[in-house]
Structure formats: C-alpha cells, structure tokens
Amino acid sequence: MFIAMNVFVSLIIAHLALGINGLPSPLIIGGEDAPINLYPYQASLRYDDKHFCNGAIVNERYIVTVAQCVYSINYPVAYSVAVGSNNLNEPGVVYDVTGIIVHAGYNKARHIHDIALIRLSENIKFDANVQPVALADAERNYNDYPLVVTGWANNNMSWYFYLLQEIIVKGYSQEMCNDEYKFIEKSHLCSMCVKDGEGLCDGDFGDPVVADGVLVGLVSHARCSSNYPDISTRVSYYRSWIDKNTNV
C-alpha cells in the first residue's frame, strides 16, 4: 500500500511541477481543500453531468462566469449547474440551464469583455451551503491586497482532485501586468501568487475572485506558473451590465 501511495504522490508532484514550469496543468497549483459553507456562492458548470467550468451565484436565477466557457454553446438546455457541494462526485443540487447571455463585445483573442450570465430553469433554493455572492460595484485598487480564488479544474485524469480548491493570491499592478501582456485594460484585474509554487492554471476559468466576501473578478487567463500574473475579468466594470441582464 505504501508503495502504491508513493507512486500516487509522485505522479501528483510531477504533474504540479509541469504547471509550475509553465507547461499546461489543469489544477489550482498549491491550493487547499475548501468547505462549501465558506464559499456557498460557488457553482459548477456541467455538460453530460461532468464539470467543465466555474462560476458564481448572482441571485436565485443567474450564474456569472466567463464568456470563454459558454460562448460556443448553441443548445443551452443540454447543460446544467450544480451548487451546494464542494465535491464534484456529489454535486449537491443540480439546475438545468435555459439561457446564456454572452457580453456582445467578447473577443477571445484580445481577452476582453470575457463575461457571461447563465439563466437557470428555476429559482435556486438558498441555505447554509448555497448563497449569492455580493458583487463589486466600485472601481478599487487591489494592488497587494489579498484575494481568495476558489474552483475546480477541468480534468479527466483518474487521480484528479474532486474537492473544491482555494488559494490566496494578491492584487497586482495594472501597469506591471500590462508590461507582461500588452493588452491589459480597465476591465481586467491582475493578480499574482503569494508563494512560490502556487498559482492558477488552465482549468480555473470562471473561478470566483473574492475580496472581503465581495466578488471582484472571474479568472480569465492563467499561465500555470508562479512567475507570471494571472488575469481576471473585473466585476465592478460590468456591474451595470450584470444588473441590467439579471434584474438584481
């Protein structure tokens, strides 16, 4: 048993090492298991009962996520959203999807206006493990401010972690972030990992980024490395768009 466990751990370490060196990895690197009652707004976007992206509960009828997760969907009713559980194998309560609203200005190549709303077939029933998240409504400088990112990765590997992961990152200067990417705008929110060996990766699209219990971003672009900043869609920039389309 110990030999098998050592092999298992070695595989995980090797996989995470690939992500740290900048090669594709689907996981929050260096994250910890997160209980759903601390993040009751967390939502799992699903197709054929399998998780493929992350999102956050806006109100009893809508989920907010990034456009890149849903812009190509032509048949929304084939999709669903699970809430109320931190375990993808035990998805809590599942709601069918009836509609998707993608921001009209979304441009995948330029990473702009990467935001979308998902309408559910019925109202979400709120309890201790299922709650809407407060939305940022004003521009704010988050440089060096602690931000909490939560989510599951999109991965079909057999040893994949099915439990919700959390990681603490810090806000990063827009100017310095633009030096790296050359396309940063006011609609973006940049962050940087706090510790070496930690970071966000390919499967973290739509992960809620929260400051003091308020949704400030949704993960849009990640380099799978602790040496580069990650980019999120800045929620406050789209607050009026969200309100208009959800009647919050």
For residue 2 the two structure tokens come to 């110990």
CA separation for the pair 206, 111 (Å, rounded): 13
Question: Homologous superfamily of 133-237 in CATH?
Answer: Trypsin-like serine proteases (2.40.10.10)
CA atoms within a 13 Å half-sphere pointing along the CA-CB vector of 208: 29
CB 25 within 8 A of CB 212: no
Residue 184: what are its φ and ψ, rounded to 5°? -70, 130
Cα torsion 113, 119, 123, 125 to 10°: value is: -50
From the CB of residue 13, how many other CB atoms can be counted at a distance below 10 Å? 9
pLDDT, one tens digit per residue, over 112-150 is 999 999 999 999 999 999 999 999 999 899 999 999 999
From the CB of residue 205, how many other CB atoms can be counted at a distance below 10 Å? 26
Task: Write down the pTM of the prediction.
Answer: 0.86
CB 96 within 8 A of CB 120: yes
Domain ranges of the chain: 42-131+240-246, 133-237
Residue 34: what are its φ and ψ, rounded to 5°? -125, 125
Strand partners, 190: 231
CATH class of 42-131+240-246: mainly beta
Average pLDDT score over residue span 63-90? 97
Q: How confident is the model at residue 161 (pLDDT cuts 50, 70, 90)?
A: low
pLDDT, one tens digit per residue, over 193-241 is 988 777 888 778 999 999 999 999 999 999 888 889 999 999 999 999 9
* pLDDT score, position 110: 87
* pLDDT score, position 227: 84
pLDDT, one tens digit per residue, over 9-21 is 333 333 333 333 3
Check if 42-131+240-246 and 133-237 are the same fold: yes
**CB under 8 Å to 121, separation ≥6 — which residues?**
95, 96, 97, 98
